[in-house]
Structure 1
Amino acid sequence: MKLQEYINLDSDQRLKEFLATLSITNRTPDYYVNWEKVSRETKKFELELNTMNYLIGKEDMYQEALGLFTKQPDLLKVVPSLIASREKILDVLIIDEEDNMAFDQLNFSKIDLDRIKEYVDFMDHSGLLSFLQKEANRSLVDYVYGVEAGLDSNARKNRSGTTMEGIIERSVAKVSRVYNLDFKAQATAAFIKERWNIEVPVDKSERRFDLAVYCPKKHKVWLIETNYYGGGGSKLKAVAGEFTELNQFIRTSADDVDFVWITDGQGWKTAHLPLAEAFGHIPYIFNLEMLKQDYLFSLFQ
C-alpha cells in the first residue's frame, strides 16, 4: 500500500493496516551488547584489577586482603564492579548471629581510611573473598569484562528506543539527500524558530523532538517522534494520549507544521483503544514496514 492510499483510509482502516504490519522486533545485532561501553568501563580499573590479581587463590584470604587494602586503599574502588553493581555508595543491612539488624553505608567512591576492616568484612560476607580464593582462576580484568557485558544487558530496554531513533534518522538522512532537506535530531521549538523561522507550539517547554525535518522550498517542518514497544503496559496508553495532545498543539501553529509518529512493536496489539483514539487525530502514524514502503519519500517530496 502506498502512502496516499493509506492516508485516504478512514482512521479505523488505517489502524487495521498498521496493526497488521507491525514488526516482530527492532533488535539489530548491536542491540545486545554495547562493547565500546563494556571496554571503556573495564579499562577504568584495569591497573587496580591487575594489582588485585595478587589475591587470587590466597590461603589466608581475609588477612591478605586486609593487608593489601590497608597499603593500597584505593583498590577498594573496584569492588562494586566485582559484585556487578553500578552503585558506588552501598546501603547494607547487617544481621548478626542473634538476628539483630542494623543498617550501614559503605562509600566505594571515596574510601574511608578508618573503615578498611569494614570494607573487607563486606567483601567477606558478600562472598567476594571466597570467590577470589576458590573460583577466580584467571585475570580479574577478563572477569570484570564479562560482568560489564552482563550489566550492559540491563540497558537493552533503553536501547530499544535509541535503536528506533537511529533507524529513523538514517531513513530521514537518505530522503534528505534526495530532496535537499535539512534535519536536526533532538530539536527544540527554540532551535526550529531560530534555524528555520517556523513557530512550533509545544505542550512543555523542555520538549525535544526526536527529529525535525525542514523543506526550504515549502517552508515546512515535519516533527517526528519515535518509539518501540515489544510488550504491553500502561506506558502505551500514556504515550498514545500524550502524542494525541501534542498533535493538537502543533496544529495550532500559524506555520506549515506536521506531526509524524513512527512507532512499532507487538505491544500495540494490547493497547487497541488508546491507539484507535490517536489514529482518530493523527494522520501520520507509521511503522517500520511503512518506512520500507518509502512512506517518508512520498511524505517529504
Structure 2
Amino acid sequence: MNKLYLDFLNLNDQESVIEKFHETIIDTNRSYDFFTDWSKIKKHINKFKIELNIFNSLIWSKEFEKDLKKILKDYPQVIPVIPLLLAIREKNLKIIKDLNSGDFCIVNYDFNARTLSDKEIEDLVEFFNKTGLKKFFLEMGAKSIQDYAIGVEVGLDTHARKNRSGRAMEILLKPIIENISNKLGYKPLFQKKFGYLEDKYKIRVNPSIKNRKADFILIKNNKIINIEVNFFSGTGSKPQEIVDSYIERQNELKENGFKFIWITDGEGWKGQKNQIHKGFDKIDYLLNIHFVRLGLLEEIICRI
C-alpha cells in the first residue's frame, strides 16, 4: 500500500486502512433533489401551457368528437401534446390496428404540429377512442389538463431516476474535484472520451482507450489523471466484477502513461472486505467519499 495512506490517515498498516474504508461506507448517495426534477417538469409544462388549456374544453364535452375535430383543425399546435396525455414522449407512434387480424396491419401516427387532412383528423379521433383518451376526458373527472399533465411529467421523471442515481456520485464529487483542480492548476474535463485529449490537446492516446469515456480527466501540461466514480448499491454487478473492471482500466491507462484514481462507495461494499482488499492491492489510489472529504484526494493529486 502507498505509504501516503498510512501517513495521511495516521494508521499503521493496510488492514487498518481497509477497516477504516469499510466502516465509513455510506448507505445512499441520494440527496433531496434526487427524487423529482421540478425545474425540468416546469419547463416541459410551460412549453405546452396554452395547448394543454385548449384541451380543457373537451372535459365532459357533450359533443366530444365534433369538438375534438374542431380543435385539431383550428389549433394544430396541440398535436404534439397528445402523446403526453398517454405519458409518451415520442412524436411518431406505430400501433397494431387489430391484434386478432392475421395481417397485423400497422398504423403510423405522426404527432408533429402541422395542418391535418380530414383523413388524418378522423384517424386521430379514432386514436382518442381506442386508446381510452375519450373516456378519460368524459368519465375520469379531470378538472384541469394542465394539472393532469404535471402528474404525468412527475411519473415520466421517475424513469430518469435511474440515470440520476448513476450520476449522483459525479454530481456530488464534481464541485470537490473542480475546486482541487483549480487549486493545483489542473484543467478538469467531465464525461469526455480519451480521444478528446488527442483532438484537443495533441496528447497521444492508445487506440484501446480512445473511445472510452471518463467520468473525470485532469490535465496539467502532459500529466493526465483519470478519476472514475461509482456507487455500488448491492444490485447489478458483483463486487469482483467491479474491482476487476477498474484494475483493467488502470492497467490500460498505465500503458498510456496516465494515472488512475477510483472513488467508490455504497452499501454493496459492506461485508466485501476481500474485494476491498483486492482493490487496495491492485489499484494505486482507491477512495470512498469519507476519504475524499478528509482531503486525501487532494493530497493524492498534489503528489502525483
TM-score class, shorter: 0.7 to 0.9
Kept in 1, the 8 Å contact 2:194–2:209? The answer is no
Distance 1:264 1:192, change over 3 A: same
CA deviation map 1:83-124 (0-9, x unaligned): 11122222324447xx54744333233476323223222222
Distance 1:108 1:249, change over 3 A: same
Within 5 A, what are the aligned runs for 1:60-75? Answer: 60-75=63-78
Kept in 2, the 8 Å contact 1:232–1:268? The answer is no
Match of 2:166 in 1: 161
| 2:153 matches 1:148 | yes
Match of 1:286 in 2: 287
Match of 1:295 in 2: 296
Q: Distance in 1 between matches of 2:286 and 2:245?
A: 14
Secondary structure of 2:282's counterpart equals coil
Match of 2:186 in 1: 181
Match of 1:233 in 2: 236
Query: Identity of aligned pairs, percent?
Result: 28
Out of 189, 208, 214, the residue aligned to residue 209 of structure 1 is 214
Secondary structure of 2:283's counterpart equals coil
Q: How far did 1:27 drift? A: 0.9
Q: Distance in 1 between matches of 2:132 and 2:284?
A: 58
Q: How far did 1:24 drift? A: 1.2
Q: How far did 1:82 drift? A: 0.8
Q: Distance in 2 between matches of 1:194 and 1:78?
A: 41
Q: Which moved more, 1:202-211 or 1:99-108?
A: 99-108
Match of 1:80 in 2: 83
Count of residue pairs the alignment pairs up: 293
Distance 1:204 1:235, change over 3 A: farther
Q: How far did 1:159 drift? A: 0.8
Letter in 2 for 1:52: F
Match of 2:248 in 1: 245
Letter in 2 for 1:168: L
Match of 2:267 in 1: 266
Distance 1:166 1:48, change over 3 A: same
Match of 2:144 in 1: 139
Match of 1:57 in 2: 60
Q: Distance in 2 between matches of 1:45 and 1:195?
A: 40
Distance 1:18 1:105, change over 3 A: farther
The root-mean-square deviation of aligned C-alpha atoms, in Å, is 3.3
Kept in 1, the 8 Å contact 2:209–2:252? The answer is no
Letter in 2 for 1:84: A
Distance 1:117 1:39, change over 3 A: same
Q: How far did 1:76 drift? A: 2.7
| 2:117 matches 1:116 | no
Kept in 2, the 8 Å contact 1:237–1:271? The answer is no
Q: Distance in 2 between matches of 1:261 and 1:36?
A: 32
Distance 1:239 1:106, change over 3 A: farther
Q: How far did 1:248 drift? A: 0.5
Q: Distance in 1 between matches of 2:273 and 2:61?
A: 61
Q: Distance in 1 between matches of 2:240 and 2:137?
A: 48
CA deviation map 1:248-299 (0-9, x unaligned): 011123x4x3201112222345877766654442121212122122211221
Kept in 1, the 8 Å contact 2:51–2:78? The answer is yes
Out of 43, 48, 52, the residue aligned to residue 45 of structure 1 is 48
Distance 1:234 1:130, change over 3 A: same
Distance 1:105 1:258, change over 3 A: same
Q: How far did 1:141 drift? A: 2.1
Q: Distance in 2 between matches of 1:287 and 1:299?
A: 13
Q: Distance in 1 between matches of 2:188 and 2:51?
A: 45
Stretches of structure 2 that go unaligned for 5 or more consecutive residues are none
Q: How far did 1:197 drift? A: 6.9
Q: How far did 1:58 drift? A: 0.6
CA deviation map 1:151-176 (0-9, x unaligned): 11210111122221122221112223
Match of 1:107 in 2: 109
Secondary structure of 1:251's counterpart equals helix
Q: TM-score scaled by structure 1?
A: 0.81
